[in-house]
């Protein structure tokens, strides 16, 4: 039986384990990336491991998430990251150089290699045939130190693309259709591979849009083969030497297969407040629009931006619409300027933002109260924009530009003939905002500002784990719910004690105070708990508050791994109705906790006793022997120190 593209790359990087779905495997990591929202913590953890130099082929630290310097905190943390990068052998991408995923696929991604990033949208580089996986900062820190990355071997899903896209229909519509078919939970424990004759007509930027939003499926990663399209992209970036052909065997075996006829797709939109709440633009109708935001790591390539400029040229943004545009990288911005497209955008009334994440993560450009905001980003979670009452819709750049002119949600097919976009054969290459590390780091001083505080580290598992049910939340609680990361809080990413006072406050403003008053306890949750970002703070803040376990109907992959890495038990109800049998402030206890954790490795269930209801509840947690040792040690950092 042949292998899929992902299986081949995993095989070539396998450190331990077998290519059997559901079994734990360990793979060698070639490259890592961090961004400033998660990077500060990742580098604090890397320092704690006490390894003198990174051991990857390439590691890059990007500053892209919070470039608004409204106080000293951001500038201090950026200097900390730059000095750590200089000391330990990491390239440093300065503010303004662009969004990590856009820059990495342009300048550093290599087909057939592995990339581990402390950002959930790291799979963007799957657009060039790279096995690119998002993870928590501690996993990335271990990988930088030469350690393997452990994961449960995923199932393989093939999405067969047939035909070609009609005019005004885009790659964004392809991934929205996939989300409609699979939902935000449909990719958990799976790798999504794209194939079929339809991929030949998709450029690398289009492929990257699709793999980027594979994160919203909950998938481990998404990947396209590396082919002639990939080679043309790498040649345009001046690095054809990085090309290698990577693809599945003709007889590759997939666990699931879906077929999408590109000829049948129409412009789509994801309605509030979930990326899988998908409908045709014309079905949603011409609703009035207040704001349009174009950019983010999903749709900010030169290809996307040139299409937007062509739609806007000679037009004027509707008087009731605020249009903001953030090119994904400095390369994109400078080429827009050279080609005259930037002028077309500005003349139409667009506001040009810095090449950074910006509105995508609520970092500026929050909509007005009750606004309708169309965005080309990847997530429209409740409150993520910075305005809780805003209605955020996810659309393609073409829909966004057409709607900005019309003032209402508009199907771009109403504009008539689609402009023809020809990408240049060669892109402008200027890497002078990527700072190379010192060849000798021994004498480099790491600069620490006063905002950097010690991060919490768990202790070994006691004989008995007890506490109260501190909060009970519903399905699809995101990491934005667990640890908000808005413009007011993100500057405190290196100050977990401060952040902990805002943990889960979108769900219950009293949660932090209740957790402190009860010396910690348990979180009770619905399905897909921890959906969204790789944000490790969503595990660190509960740890700071004394949370010992999360009892949920199911978990998102990265958050589950982050909980284990921090010594917090992520337990799944064997009987989903047991969720209903726990009320706020019920007294819960796990007796003989170390022995019960060890028994999980053998497939046994763990029993939590609800003392208030005089009821026993069975929960599951498939664990490898290694994961059990991590939990028993109180987290990956303790385990790594212990194992040497």
- Token pair recorded at residue 582: 């726990």
Q: What pLDDT sits at residue 381?
A: 83
Spatial CB neighbours of 79, under 8 Å, sequence gap ≥ 6: 447, 449
Task: Note the residue count of the chain.
Answer: 644
Q: State pTM to two decimals.
A: 0.93
Confidence of residue 385 (pLDDT cuts 50, 70, 90): confident
Tokens of 563: 């909980």
Instruction: Check whether 644 has a pLDDT greater than 70.
Output: no
Report yes or no: 470 and 547 within 8 Å, Cβ to Cβ. yes
pLDDT reported for residue 406: 98
Give every CB contact of residue 623 below 8 A, 6+ residues apart in sequence.
597, 600, 601, 631
The two beta strands, 615-620 and 606-610, are antiparallel
Rounded distance, CA 286 to CA 416, Å? Answer: 17
Evaluate if residue 34 carries a pLDDT over 80. Answer: yes
Report residue 7: phi and psi, to 5°.
-60, -35
Residue 8 to residue 596: CA distance in whole angstroms: 37
pLDDT bucket at 129, cuts 50 / 70 / 90: very high
Dihedral over Cα of 225, 231, 232, 233: its sign:
positive
pLDDT tens-digit readout, 182-212 = 999 999 999 999 999 999 999 999 999 999 9
The Cα–Cα gap between 478 and 504 comes to 10
Phi and psi at residue 137, in whole multiples of 5°? -60, -35
pLDDT of residue 128: 98
Looking at per-residue pLDDT, the higher value among 279 and 364 belongs to 279
Interval 324-334: pLDDT, tens: 999 999 999 99
Omega of the bond leading into 273 within 30 degrees of 0 (cis): yes
H-helix or E-strand containing 107?
A: helix 100-107
- 326 with 354: CB under 8 angstroms? yes
Coil, strand or helix at 251: coil
What per-residue confidence (pLDDT) applies to 115? 98
The conformational region for residue 22 under phi > 0 = left, psi -120 to 50 = alpha, else beta, is left
pLDDT of 159: 98
What domains are there in the chain, each with its CATH number? 5-264 (3.30.499.10), 268-412 (3.30.499.10), 465-488+495-637 (3.20.19.10)
- The CA distance from 261 to 177, in Å, is 11
């Amino acid at each position: 039986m042949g292998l899929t593209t992902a299986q081949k790359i995993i095989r070539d990087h396998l450190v331990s384990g077998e290519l059997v779905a559901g079994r734990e495997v360990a793979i060698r990591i070639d490259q890592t990336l961090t961004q400033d929202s998660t990077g500060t913590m990742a580098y604090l953890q890397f320092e704690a491991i006490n390894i003198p130099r990174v051991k990857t082929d390439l590691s890059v630290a990007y500053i892209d998430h919070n470039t608004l310097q409204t106080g000293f905190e951001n500038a201090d943390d950026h200097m900390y990251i730059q000095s750590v990068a200089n000391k330990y052998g990491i390239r440093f991408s300065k503010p303004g150089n662009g969004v990590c995923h856009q820059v990495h696929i342009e300048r550093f991604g290599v087909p057939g290699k592995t990339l581990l990033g402390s950002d959930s949208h790291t799979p963007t580089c799957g657009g060039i045939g790279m096995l690119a996986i998002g993870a928590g900062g501690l996993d990335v820190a271990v990988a930088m130190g030469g350690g393997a990355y452990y994961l449960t071997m995923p199932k393989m899903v093939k999405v067969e693309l047939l035909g070609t896209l009609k005019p005004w229909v885009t790659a964004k519509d392809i991934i929205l259709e996939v989300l409609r078919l699979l939902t935000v939970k449909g990719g958990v424990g799976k790798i999504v591979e794209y194939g079929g004759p339809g991929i030949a007509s998709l450029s690398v930027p289009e492929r990257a849009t699709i793999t980027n939003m594979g994160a919203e499926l909950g998938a481990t990663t998404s990947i396209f083969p590396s082919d002639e399209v990939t080679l043309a992209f790498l040649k345009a970036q001046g690095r054809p030497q990085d090309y290698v052909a990577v693809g599945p065997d003709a007889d590759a075996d997939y666990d699931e297969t879906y077929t999408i006829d590109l000829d049948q797709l129409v412009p789509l939109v994801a309605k509030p407040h979930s990326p899988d709440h998908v409908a045709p633009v014309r079905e949603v109708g011409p609703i009035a629009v207040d704001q349009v935001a174009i950019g983010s790591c999903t749709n900010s390539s030169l290809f996307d931006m040139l299409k937007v400029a062509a739609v806007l040229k000679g037009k004027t943004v509707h008087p009731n619409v605020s249009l903001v545009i953030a090119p994904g990288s400095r390369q994109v911005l400078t080429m827009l300027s050279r080609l005259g497209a930037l002028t077309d955008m500005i003349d139409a009334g667009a506001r040009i933002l810095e090449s950074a994440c910006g509105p995508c993560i609520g970092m500026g450009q929050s909509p007005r109260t009750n606004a309708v905001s169309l965005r080309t980003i990847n997530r429209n979670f409740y409150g993520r924009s910075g305005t809780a009452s805003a209605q955020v819709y996810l659309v393609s750049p073409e829909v966004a530009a057409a709607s900005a002119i019309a003032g209402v949600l508009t199907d771009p097919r109403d504009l008539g003939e689609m402009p023809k976009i020809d990408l240049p054969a060669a892109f402008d290459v200027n890497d002078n905002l990527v700072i190379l590390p010192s060849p000798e780091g021994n004498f480099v001083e790491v600069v620490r500002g006063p905002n950097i505080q010690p991060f919490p580290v768990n202790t070994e598992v006691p004989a008995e784990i007890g506490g109260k049910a501190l909060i009970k939340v519903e399905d699809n609680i995101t990491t934005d719910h667990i640890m908000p990361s808005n413009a007011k809080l993100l500057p405190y990413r290196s100050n977990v004690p401060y952040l902990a006072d805002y943990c889960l406050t979108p769900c219950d403003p009293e949660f932090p105070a209740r957790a402190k008053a009860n010396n910690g306890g348990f979180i009770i949750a619905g399905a897909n708990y921890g959906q969204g970002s790789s944000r490790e703070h969503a595990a660190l803040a509960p740890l700071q508050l004394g949370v010992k376990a999360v009892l949920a109907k199911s978990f998102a992959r990265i958050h589950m791994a982050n909980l284990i890495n921090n010594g917090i038990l992520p337990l799944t109800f064997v009987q989903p109705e047991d969720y209903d049998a726990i009320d706020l402030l019920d007294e819960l206890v796990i007796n003989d906790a170390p022995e019960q954790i060890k028994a999980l490795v053998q497939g046994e269930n763990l029993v939590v006793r609800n003392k208030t209801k005089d009821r026993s509840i069975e929960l599951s947690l498939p664990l490898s022997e290694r994961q059990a040792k991590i939990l028993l040690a109180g987290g990956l950092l303790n385990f790594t120190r212990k194992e040497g």
